[in-house]
Amino acid sequence: MRYRSKSTLFLIEQLIVIAVFAICAAACISILSNAYFLARDTRDVSNALLVAESLAESFKAVSGDLEAAAEISGGNLKTVDGTDTITMFFSDNWLQTDEDTAQYILQLKSDNQPPSHPSLLTGAVTVSRTTGDQLLTFPIATRQATR
């Protein structure tokens, strides 16, 4: 009868345990990575919605006067591609900042097309990352002030 070393079986068993552990660790790292990016995107969309709603409400409060809405919100009013646009820049902590250090861009663009209703002013609010990824966009409308 041949004598077999028990240390060989123990070594094989340990290698199998290490392989199973490595596979489980790789799966956990993948899950945690996906959870991190999902949480980041959710946080960004939530904060984007807050700042976008604030700008939209400013637009509505002044009956579509873009200059007054820009003054209230602290944004810059410019004409971009023939469209009056309020632009605001935000840092990665969603604090208003300048264009050079911005991570997010909030824009309110007014429609220059004749509205379907003569006393209605329409536009769109868009929030995007400076990398070009759009977080959200929604249309807005308000009644034009009677003069």
Q: DSSP letters along 87-147, please? A: EEEE-TTS-EE-GGG-SEEEEEEE--SPPSSTTEEEEEEEEEETTS-EEEEEEEEEEPPP-
Would you say residue 114 lies in a domain?
yes
> Does some domain include residue 65?
yes
Does residue 48 sit within a domain? yes
Does residue 74 surpass a pLDDT of 70? yes
Identify the pLDDT of residue 113: 61
Structural domain count of the chain:
1
Tokens of 11: 């070594």
Residue % of the chain over a pLDDT of 70? 90
Domain encompassing residue 63: 6-143
> Which residues is 128 bridged to in the sheet?
105, 134
The stretch 23-47 carries a mean pLDDT of: 95
Q: What are 39-60's pLDDT values in tens digits?
A: 999 999 999 999 999 999 999 9
- pTM of the entire structure? 0.76
Report the run of H or E that residue 27 belongs to, with start and end. Answer: helix 6-61
Q: Which of 100-104, 105-109, 115-119 is predicted with the least confidence, judged by mean pLDDT?
A: 115-119
Whether residue 82 lies inside any domain: the answer is yes
Q: Which two tokens stand for residue 40?
A: 């980041």
1 in any annotated domain: no
pLDDT band at 2 (very low <50, low <70, confident <90, very high): low
Query: For the chain, how big is the Rg over CA atoms in Å?
Result: 27
In a domain, 97, yes or no: yes
Q: Give CA angle at 123 (117, 124), nearest 5°.
A: 140
On whether residue 101 sits in a domain, the answer given is: yes
Do the domain assignments include residue 18?
Answer: yes
